[in-house]
Amino acid sequence: MCGIVGILGQADVARELVDGLKRLEYRGYDSAGICTIVDGQFGRRRAEGKLKNLTARLDAEPLKGRSGIAHTRWATHGAPTVDNAHPHIVGDVAVVHNGIIENFKPLRDMLLAEGRVFLSETDTEVVGHLVARELEAGKSPTEAVAEVLPKLHGAFALALLFRNDPDLLIGARLGAPLTVGYGDGENYLGSDALALAGLTQRIAYLEEGDWVVVRRASVEVFDRDNRPAQRPVVSSGVSATITEKGNYRHFMQKEIFEQPLVVAQTLHSYLKPLQGQVALPIPDFDFSGVKRVQIVACGTSYYAGMVASYWLEKFARIPVEIDYASEFRYREPVLEPGGLALFISQSGETADTLAALRHAKAEGQKIAAVVNVPTSSMAREADLLLPTHAGTEIGVASTKAFTCQLAVLAALAANLARVRGKFSADDEREIVSHLAEVPAALNAALNHDEAIAEIAPLIAKARDVLYLGRGPEFAMAMEGALKLKEISYIHAEGYAAGEMKHGPIALIDEDVPVIVLAPSGPLFEKTVSNMQEVRARGGRIILISDAEGIRQAGEGTVATIEMPQVHPLIAPIVYAVPVQLLAYHVAVAKGTDVDQPRNLAKSVTVE
């Protein structure tokens, strides 16, 4: 959600702090700030809005100092103003924070009753006051932090800088990620490996409840019981150039066009095409005892799960239930012993999904996780890790991670179908051959980019847009609507095509474009009938189908988008491309900020 960087350097650090924030800006961009120590005093610059405002502020008033912390914010407590921007300085300590201090209200009331003065509306300032209070009572910075951490409830990653000790950074993590970077005579803290990619490749991931005392010459990690702990130093493998757009105008566009490559990369570790077999990277797990699957995820990952629920039931004939992670725990789901709970997440850090994963684990479920960030909390806490190999996704709207999730989930469904005796060797071979065709089909879909761009102005003027589909394409209709909403700010709804006539059809008039996803296949005719019901009421239809579908049903539509003819299994993966491109081109036509849409953040680490 928010992004944190801390540097104890050999030279002035302001520029490197801002470079770190640039790589983290995808996590939030409501405001940004940095704080360094200059001649024994804190120096701070903060700015509302995007990082470029902070950069302009620093150009006008540069900041010296070899020790510093920095933050890019996605607002939770308090509006995105300069006063609420981090770092927060209280006395001799400056603090940046990602997450939420859930008990900040009683803590703040207690501190106010002591006569302490707050300068922001944030929960973070409470941490500053608590630490400052201990320092004022004569404690050392490490003693002060050790005293304060157990008092904080919620999810947080913190980095603290101390005015009287420019060779010290203290970090802490509970429920939000934090990494330590190791340099030569320098050391760092960062929200993730990407934050530190321009500084070092040698990093250690802190565990839940850890806190860390960082100096230029040493790093000491303590666990939640304050016992010294060793966390392995690994190579991050993340290059700073990942955060460059190359020849593309936006990261989202680049990531859409990367899909054939990254889906092929992902499928490579799940299929043996020559043998016609699926081979999951968890060969030791015996799926034969699995009686039902509980899928949990948020947003786009949830829609990947929704597509998978169709595949798992159709191919593996296994009962599936799917929940939004934010709802899952609170509806007190009945989870039978021996159940498989499947969590899907690009970041592996989404707070709702992580909390649901821990709940399911506590309830004795076997935990499988489809995750794109292999070092994330979900990846580490799952019993069965099913990685996607989409590479770093920077655009806030998820695209390539989604199609990679679908590729993994299709392989999982085929695997379960075989284990449960629902697939013969021939069935498996056939499915594997269709999955192996996905990268080429994605390329063919991408070839329609220009045609899709031409349709975008039709939609850019609309106030409301409907997306219709049946079966897995219903899930894709939901995903298409989400993509459009989040980057073009146009209200959009995804509907099950057959459900329209039960109410939403009342919305239809000539101002509401209706986008119909209808690959030819078993559900085509029924979907087309629903489309005609819309057309008969003056609806302006954009049909996404293959050549055959368009030949049969394209008449009377305002536009058609042609997709390659593919097997129904892989249609949802391929049809992701036109809905992504449509949303992308509409956003470009409207001039919105495609990669950093308002109010959003890439990784949502608060509930």
Note whether 377 binds ligand F6R by CB under 6 A. Answer: no
Q: How far is the CB of 347 from ligand F6R (least distance, A)?
A: 3
**Orientation of helix 425-436 relative to helix 400-419, angle to 10°:** 170
Go through 12-27 and write b for each residue having 16 or more CB atoms within 10 A of its CB, e for each that does not: bbbebbbbbbbbbbbb
Active site residue 602: yes
Backbone angles phi, psi at 13, to 5 degrees: -110, -5
Q: Which residues pair with 491 in a beta bridge?
A: 464
- Of the pair 44, 173, the CB lying nearest ligand F6R is at 173
Q: Which of 254, 366, 483, 602 is catalytic?
A: 602
Note whether 604 binds ligand F6R by CB under 6 A. Answer: yes
Asked if residue 562 lies in contact with residue 446, where contact means CB atoms within 8 angstroms, the answer is no
* Residue 72 to residue 75: CA distance in whole angstroms: 10
Which range in 72-80, 344-352, 523-531, 536-544 contacts ligand F6R by CB under 6 A?
344-352
Site size toward ligand F6R (CB under 6 A) is 15
- Of the pair 520, 603, the CB lying nearest ligand F6R is at 603
**Site residues for ligand F6R, window 547-576 (CB under 6 A)?**
none
In the structure encoding, which two tokens stand for residue 67, read together?
């020790």
* Residue 374 to residue 387: CA distance in whole angstroms: 7
Q: Where are the beta strands (DSSP E) in 250-327?
A: 271-272, 277-278, 293-297, 320-324
* Residue 219 to residue 204: CA distance in whole angstroms: 10
Note whether 24 binds ligand F6R by CB under 6 A. Answer: no
Among 67, 253, 345, 377, binds ligand F6R (CB under 6 A): 345
Asked if residue 97 lies in contact with residue 176, where contact means CB atoms within 8 angstroms, the answer is no
Note whether 350 binds ligand F6R by CB under 6 A. Answer: yes
Note whether 486 binds ligand F6R by CB under 6 A. Answer: yes
What are the residue ranges of helices labelled H in 420-509? 425-436, 438-446, 449-460, 472-488
Note whether 392 binds ligand F6R by CB under 6 A. Answer: no
Provide the 3-class DSSP secondary structure of residue 148. Answer: helix
Note whether 191 binds ligand F6R by CB under 6 A. Answer: no
Q: How far is the CB of 378 from ligand F6R (least distance, A)?
A: 8
Active site residue 298: no
Note whether 253 binds ligand F6R by CB under 6 A. Answer: no
Note whether 301 binds ligand F6R by CB under 6 A. Answer: yes
**Orientation of helix 571-590 relative to helix 472-488, angle to 10°:** 20
Token pair 């609806």 is found at 539
Q: How far is the CB of 9 from ligand F6R (least distance, A)?
A: 31
Among 2, 204, 397, 496, binds ligand F6R (CB under 6 A): 397
* Residue 265 to residue 403: CA distance in whole angstroms: 12
Asked if residue 365 lies in contact with residue 339, where contact means CB atoms within 8 angstroms, the answer is yes
Asked if residue 543 lies in contact with residue 497, where contact means CB atoms within 8 angstroms, the answer is no
* Residue 206 to residue 227: CA distance in whole angstroms: 14
Q: How far is the CB of 488 from ligand F6R (least distance, A)?
A: 12
Which range in 89-97, 246-254, 294-302, 587-595 contacts ligand F6R by CB under 6 A?
294-302
Note whether 386 binds ligand F6R by CB under 6 A. Answer: no
Note whether 160 binds ligand F6R by CB under 6 A. Answer: no
Q: Which of 2, 35, 298, 404 is catalytic?
A: 2
Q: Which residues pair with 174 in a beta bridge?
A: 156
- Comparing every residue's Cβ against ligand F6R, the nearest one is 299
Note whether 158 binds ligand F6R by CB under 6 A. Answer: no
Q: How far is the CB of 566 from ligand F6R (least distance, A)?
A: 23
Q: How far is the CB of 403 from ligand F6R (least distance, A)?
A: 12
- List residues binding ligand F6R (CB under 6 A): 298-301, 345-347, 350, 353, 397-398, 482, 486, 603-604
Q: Active-site positions?
A: 2, 602
